[in-house]
Amino acid sequence: MEFRANFFLHAFFDSVWVLVQIGVLQVYFQYTNDISGWTKMEVFALVGAFRTIKGLFDPFLRPNLLSIPGRVNRGQFDYIFAWPVNSQFVVSCAKHLYSDLGSLVSGLAITIYALSNLNLIGNFYTWLTLGIGIICGTVIFYSIFFFFMTFSLFTVRLSATKSLYDILSNLFRWPTDILTFGNRFTEALIVPLAIVSTIPSKIFLGKIPGYYLVLEIFITMLIFALVNRFWQFAIRHYTSASS
Amino acid sequence: MAVLDAVEYRTDILIFVLSGVAQPIILMSIWLGIAAASKSAPMSHDGFVQYYMAYLVVNLWVNAWHSIFIIPKIRLGDLSPYLLHPIHYFTVIFGENIGEKIFKTTVVIPIVVVIFSIFRPDIPNVSWFQISIFAFSLALSIAITFIVGVFLPFRYTLSFPIEVLLGQVSGQNIAIGLTMQILWLTAFFILVNTLWSCGLKRYSASGA
């Protein structure tokens, strides 16, 4: 709360942004009730779920990950690697930015609104799969982003990190079914991205059977483990002015 | 200078370009989904593909991103050396801006070609008259966004040149659109120049 004006401005712009996004969805669904198999409330539920994932990622993980390339560039990792703790944990979770918590609130609000319109609000299965889906989605979102940040240990300068974040969060905000154009080539390209928000949403909306959840959890753990291996490999290549 | 910088840090530029391209492609695919499902969609399938192909290139050229770099320069006093140069600071950043755009275009063109080969839309019949009006209107748009950024005056910076190219405006409306662009440009040019000279009088940095 040190910079209060900044905090409230942030909250204000965040809510304006949510309203714009909802307005845009209203425009799209003015023309049809169904875009590539998704109804309006189902898209709302997905948008809400991904906002919730962002609400967990942005305040607790994002500020740390965004600072990785800059710290590599300036050689500030020397001390961290000397500490007797897991270096991936320290570089991912040390700093928090609470002004970004707004997404968590608006995300949950949109999800609850959509679920009540879909008559799923009292359904225990929905809430259970939603909770697990959001945790898996956050871990995968983190892993993918962390993977790109780890690249900076090899390239030394990487300043386009915010743009990279924009690309990813733009992609995950929509059901991947809409993005494939029914084309085989794009489908193969896009489907791996579905694991962040589309597949979890399909599970809690009951669009695909519940056993996909087991697959989702398995893939989440696999990706997390692979990214961790990559990080371990990368830091062995880390060099700074003094090491 | 800007081209050199861009070639030097290729990964960065590639990501910058992709982030500019991702959003329009997502929007295009949503509209294509709508066009497939609904007869009342505002444009046809081909219409949307044509629009967004033109959008990718035009949006790149009418985008201006220098303001976020000017602010820290003023705050940290890095502006001072530029003020001693014999050319206006605006000319320097305008040159940098154009240089980056040229490089980014070489990345965007292959993407447009890929989109074209996937969707194969009809190519609209574009006359030389349309192309010359488009070029003139695009130049005005670039000048406007360079001066004010991307937010104002909405239609006359991005949509209007594309509409001209795709033949969606004609006759009198072209004249009205161009006049509006020139009016906006003149108004903002005077405003920004006044602000800049007022600002320079107040500007102080260590050693300045």
Average pLDDT, chain A: 82
Average pLDDT in the A78-83 region?
Answer: 74
* Residue B81 in this model has a pLDDT that exceeds 50: yes
CB-CB under 8 Å, A32 with B29: no
Contact yes or no for B50/B121 (Cβ under 8 A): yes
**Residue of chain A with shortest Cα separation from B28:** A179
Q: Residue B144 pLDDT > 80, yes or no?
A: no
Question: Which string of b and e fits B96-120 if b means at least 16 CB within 10 Å?
Answer: bbebbbebbeebbeebbeebeeebe
DSSP string, A189-236: HHGGGGGTTHHHHHHHTTSS-TTHHHHHHHHHHHHHHHHHHHHHHHHT
**Average pLDDT value for chain B:** 76
Averaged over A199-207, what is the pLDDT? 86
Which of A164, A169, A198 to mutate against chain B (most B CBs within 10 Å)? Answer: A164
Asked if the Cβ–Cβ distance from B12 to A160 is below 8 Å, we say yes
Higher pLDDT, A23 or A10: A23
Average pLDDT over residues B96-124: 81
> Which of A25, A32, A161 would you mutate first to test chain B, the one with the most B CBs within 10 A?
A32
* Nearest chain A residue (CA) to B8: A157
Of the candidates A31, A174, A186, the beta carbon closest to that of B34 is on A31
- Tell me the shortest Cα–Cα distance from B171 to chain A, in angstroms: 30
Give which of B153, A121, B155, A30 is closest to B164, Cα–Cα.
B155
Per-position DSSP letters for A31-52, written without gaps between them = H-S-BTTB-HHHHHHHHHHHHH
Q: What is the model's pLDDT at position A208?
A: 85
Which pLDDT value is given to residue A135?
Answer: 92
Give chain A positions within 8 Å (CB) of B15: 160, 163-164, 167
Task: Report residue A118 as tokens.
Answer: 């879909």
8 A C-beta contact, residue A145 and residue A165: yes
pLDDT of A138? 92
d(CA B152, CA A148): 35
Among residues of chain A, what percentage have pLDDT more than 70? 90
List of chain B residues whose C-beta atoms are within 8 Å of the C-beta of residue A32: 34, 37-38, 41
Over residues B107-131, the mean pLDDT reads 79
Under an 8 A CB cutoff, do B12 and A158 touch? yes
Yes or no: say if A43 and A175 are a contact pair by the CB < 8 Å rule: yes
Query: Which amino acid, B12?
Result: D
pLDDT tens digits for range A128-141: 999 999 999 999 99
* B156: DSSP letter: G
Q: Cβ(A31)–Cβ(B38) under 8 Å? A: yes
Residue B26: which of A36, A170, A183 has the nearest Cβ? Answer: A170
Which has more pLDDT, B80 or A26? A26
pLDDT of residue B149: 61
Type of residue numbered B91:
T
pLDDT tens-place string over residues A13-71: 888 888 888 888 888 888 888 888 888 889 899 999 999 999 898 888 888 888 888 88
Compute the distance between CA of residue B207 and CA of residue B106 in angstroms, rounded to an integer: 41
What is the complex's ipTM, to 2 decimals?
A: 0.75
What H or E segment, with its residue span, contains residue B145? Answer: helix B128-148
B30 to chain A: closest CA residue: A178
> Shortest Cα distance from B186 to chain A (angstroms)?
31
CB of B7 less than 8 A from some CB of A: no
Instruction: Give me the residues of A, 157-196, that contact B with CB < 8 A.
Output: 157-160, 163-164, 166-167, 170-171, 174, 178-181, 183, 185-186
Q: Which residue has the tokens 């001209």?
A: B164
The answer to whether residue B111 scores a pLDDT higher than 80 is: yes
Tell me what percent of the residues of chain B surpass a pLDDT of 90.
Answer: 0
pLDDT tens per residue, range A149-184: 888 777 766 667 778 888 888 888 888 877 766 666
pLDDT (mean) for A196-220: 87
- pLDDT of amino acid B154: 65
The answer to whether B124 touches B116, Cβ cutoff 8 Å, is no
CB atoms within 10 A of CB B60: 18
**Residue numbers of B between 9 and 38 with CB closer than 8 Å to A:** 9, 11-13, 15-16, 18-19, 22-23, 26, 29-30, 32-34, 37-38
pLDDT of residue B6: 60
Testing the interface with A: which of B13, B29, B31 to mutate, by most A Cβ within 10 A? B29
* pLDDT, position A136: 92
Of residues A121 and B167, which shows the higher confidence score? A121
Distance from CA of B46 to the nearest CA of A (A): 13
How much is the average pLDDT of A210-237?
89
Residue pair A118/A45 in contact (Cβ under 8 Å)? The answer is: yes
For residue A175, give the chain B residue with the closest CA.
Answer: B30
Residue B137: is its pLDDT beyond 80?
A: no
pLDDT reported for residue B1: 53
Token pair belonging to A154: 């090899």
Q: Report whether A195 contacts A140 (CB < 8 A).
A: yes
The pLDDT, as a whole number, for residue A101 is 79
pTM: 0.77
